[in-house]
Structure 1
Amino acid sequence: MDIVLYPEDFEFDAASDETIKTNNQAKTMVNTLTNWLIEQEDREEAEEAGTRTPASRRLHLHFLHAPVEITGNNGAVEGIRFERQELDGTGNVRGTGDIVDYDVQAVYRAIGYFGSALPDLAYDGSNGVIPNAGGRVLDEAGGHVSGLYATGWIKRGPVGLIGHTKGDALETITLLLQDLDNLPTAVVPEPAEVPRLLAARGVEFTDWAGWIALDAHERALGEAAEPVVTAAGPAARERIKVVDRGAMVEASTGERQGSDVGASV
């Protein structure tokens, strides 16, 4: 199988160059893809010269594409439409308005979770993020909300890999430590007060013992399930993940939370 890349996807801005310099995972990933691109150019030259036969299958990797619409007919997928994106200089991307269509027969979803709004906090519905400056949460007027910070996908949107969000977390923690002397202090600075306060406010939560119980519950679901059919033959499931929050709390505490038990296979 040949991997096919596109040179226009490797035009980086200053923010991307800085990430590559400071993040080893990003550097390794870019170096790997760049080497593949060089190998692809050599491969194409050999094919034009008739000294190499193309592989029977090709894997095309398209970057800077945002899915817009899945097209089809009578319930069957026929294509997928994307809007071409461009780097915006801040480590994120923005739409260009250019639309690209690809003929496809199947679509597999493997994307990040779009963020949701929280009460009394500003929210950017277009990007699914809580407005922030380097991780410091901002109010509607653009001022820093003392004591509130964002990281992960709620900070940058549902894009990037673990390496990107790891760098985001480091940036946020750095600012938090800078603000430490000005952050509000606990009225009762005792760890045991945290679960007491949550219980007093009626907040559903679990502790380490509850996590162990949830882990055992998921493993038991896996043991009871039918084996998975693989190329090597039937294989037992290690676990079946419980994804519904109410079901997770119920499994970890033994208390029904008013939500249907859900599981992800």
Structure 2
Amino acid sequence: MSSVRPKKHLGQHFLKDLSIAERIADGLTGHGDYKTVLEVGPGTGVLTQFLLKKDFETWVIEVDRDSIAYLEKHFSSLDDRIIGADFLKHDFISETKTPLAVIGNFPYNISSQIFFKVLDHHQEIPEVVCMIQKEVAERLASPPGNKTYGILSVLLQAYYDIEYLFTVKPNVFNPPPKVDSGVIRLKRNTTKALDCDETLFRRVVKAGFQMRRKTLRNALKPINLPAELSDHPTLALRAETLSVNQFVALTNLISACQ
């Protein structure tokens, strides 16, 4: 199908297996009553073709000029819904219609940055379905107490329920990556806003995991913990053991003492 060569500097690995592309598209549930879907990095449209069959208005955002030209030639039904821009830098919210779902085969090298942008727009994005590196997918879906549980696990689970859907082997890509991929689904939960200072919450979570083998008492030193909290039992724990609610409670403790 493709006459576009995948570019290493863009982290492109084009999916070849149509059945997997269809399974990814079928991962969309419509949760949150959205009518618009934005595909990130469609490449040559292997996933796009299945999205266009669904009852959503499909938009795509692509930074690669060769891929844009291919999509314009082969997917005329997209009309003016091809955004030639970098997802990480572009204000797609004002250009499309919200609420919207985000879907795609995310480049491994920027997947974390994509999720941070999703977090910035969590009120407008009720659902995400994506294929990323398996290790990262498992980390995001991991519960507290698991060694893979980390910063993005907490930040995303604060606003989304995350489900690991299935694993994808390297041989179905061109070129094949060196690791397995995983497909996950994020569905917006009922939390409209955290019951704490959300900016401080992010700082606490990030600092807590920067030195994940240390207790929170030591890991949180960079944010200048109030002296009166030094003996609090939560600070004797490691970040990986705390749930979202426990991080919210810790944030409120710190905020009350500042």
TM-score, L = length of structure 2: 0.23
Structure whose residues are more often helix by fraction: 2
RCO higher in structure (CA 8 A, sep ≥6): 2
Q: Bigger radius of gyration, 1 or 2? A: 1
